[in-house]
């Protein structure tokens, strides 16, 4: 946990992309795979569902300090961040009883088990955790537990750092990270291997997204040679056809299994190894509003009407 908290702080303190990449690469290169896997989980925007209501943690902070509510609210207003305010207010100072557990052990042995505890047990556990960590580590822990861990580095920078560690092009690393993956040491070791094992059959390719033109329009060449593509109001997706199966992925790297069975069935007629990147559209006397497609996205089980 200490190393991850130090990385979190380092990323937050600089605006230099090169320094961020260097800090990330140094962390991934020196950290045990099981810790690096969980760090990567958080650095790529994944979260553990909120385990304890923020109000419960705030009440615990009040009990530990013995301060009135108005004074705590004033401290929070000065700090401007809920997790940081609690970390500062609950700091045991010289009375800290340090426990230097790895990030993976903190998550698997202490954080995740909180969801199965009753309220009283959660309070006692958090009281103990706060007494074992310094302010920087408590700050990170609070954000993980409340599901509000925001990192000062984009996924692109994380991919660049991993590419440096693995010695592969960033595009290759981006492809390795696509889709679902478990935060395990085994996964991370394979991820940064120069020649990893065969990738998951269902894995899509990184989505190439449009970006604003930063140069003058004339830099694109003669206008009579331009090609324009209609902007359809649909869902960006990839259909992957491999080893006799078909997989449909959203741009957000969500496997849309069963959401569009018509497309999955049609994809079985594609040659093996084909990947199509495009827009999922509904068509009924023309292209209907995007809201029609949204009725599919949130459903795990489709009815004939949908």
Residue 276 has pLDDT above 90, yes or no: yes
Q: What is the pLDDT of residue 274?
A: 93
Highest mean pLDDT among 108-122, 223-237, 243-257: 108-122
Catalytic residue among 19, 20, 115, 231: 231
State both tokens at 23.
Answer: 């800090």
Q: What local confidence, expressed as pLDDT, does residue 96 receive? A: 64
* pLDDT of res. 103: 94
Q: How far apart are CA 161 and CA 119, in angstroms?
A: 40
pLDDT in tens, 37-61: 999 999 988 888 888 888 888 888 8
Write out pLDDT tens, residues 84-118: 888 888 877 666 677 788 999 999 999 999 988 88
- For the chain, the three-class secondary structure string (H helix, E strand, C coil) is CHHHHHHHHHHHHCCCHHHHHHHHHHHHHHCCHHHHHHHHHHHCCCCCCCCCCHHHHHHHHHHHHCCCHHHHHHHHHHHCCHHHHHHHHCCCHHHCCCCCCCHHHHHHHHHHHHHHCCHHHHHHHHHHHHHHCCHHHHHHHHHHHCCCCCCCCCHHHHHHHHHHHHCCCHHHHHHHHCCCCCCCHHHHHHHCCCCCCCCCCCCCCCCCCCCCCCCCHHHHCCHHHCCCCCCCCCEEEEEEEECCEEEEEECCCCECCCCCHHHHHHHCCCCCCCEEEEEECCCCCCCCCHHHHHHHHCCCCCCCCC
Res 188: pLDDT? 94
Confidence at residue 209, expressed as pLDDT on a 0 to 100 scale: 77
The topology under which CATH files domain 217-297 is D-amino Acid Aminotransferase; Chain A, domain 1 (3.30.470)
The tens digit of pLDDT for each residue in 154-208 reads 888 999 999 999 998 887 888 888 777 899 999 999 889 877 655 567 778 888 7
User: Residue 30 — very low, low, confident or very high, per pLDDT cuts 50/70/90?
Assistant: very high
pLDDT at residue 166 in the model: 92
**What's the mean per-residue pLDDT of the chain?**
85
Please state the rounded mean pLDDT for residues 275-297: 82
The answer to whether residue 231 is catalytic is yes
């Amino acid at each position: 946990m200490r190393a991850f908290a130090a990385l979190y702080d380092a990323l937050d303190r600089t605006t230099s992309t090169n320094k961020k990449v260097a800090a990330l690469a140094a962390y991934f290169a020196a950290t045990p795979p099981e810790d690096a896997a969980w760090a990567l989980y958080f650095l790529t925007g994944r979260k553990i569902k909120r385990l304890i209501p923020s109000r419960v943690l705030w009440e615990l902070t009040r009990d530990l300090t013995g301060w009135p509510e108005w004074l705590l609210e004033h401290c929070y207003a000065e700090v401007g961040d809920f997790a940081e305010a609690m970390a500062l207010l609950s700091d045991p100072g010289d009375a800290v009883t340090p426990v230097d557990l790895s990030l993976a052990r903190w998550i698997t042995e202490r954080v995740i088990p909180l969801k199965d505890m009753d309220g009283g047990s959660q309070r006692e556990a958090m009281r103990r955790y706060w007494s074992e960590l310094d302010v920087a580590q408590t700050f990170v822990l609070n954000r993980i537990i409340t599901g509000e861990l925001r990192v000062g580095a984009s996924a692109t920078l994380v991919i660049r750092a991993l590419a440096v560690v693995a010695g592969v092009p960033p595009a290759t690393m981006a492809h390795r990270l696509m889709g679902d993956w478990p935060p395990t040491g085994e996964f991370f070791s394979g991820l940064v291997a120069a020649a990893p094992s065969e990738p998951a059959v269902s894995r899509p390719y990184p989505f190439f997204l449009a970006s604003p033109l930063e140069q003058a329009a004339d830099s694109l060449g003669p206008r009579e040679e331009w090609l324009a593509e209609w902007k359809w109001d649909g869902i960006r997706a990839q259909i992957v056809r491999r080893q006799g199966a078909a997989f449909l992925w959203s741009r957000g790297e969500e496997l849309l299994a069963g959401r569009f069975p018509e497309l999955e069935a049609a994809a079985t007629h594609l040659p093996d190894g084909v990947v199509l990147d495009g827009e999922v559209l509904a068509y009924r006397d023309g292209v209907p509003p995007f809201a029609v497609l949204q009725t599919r996205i949130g459903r795990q089980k489709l009815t004939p009407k949908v």
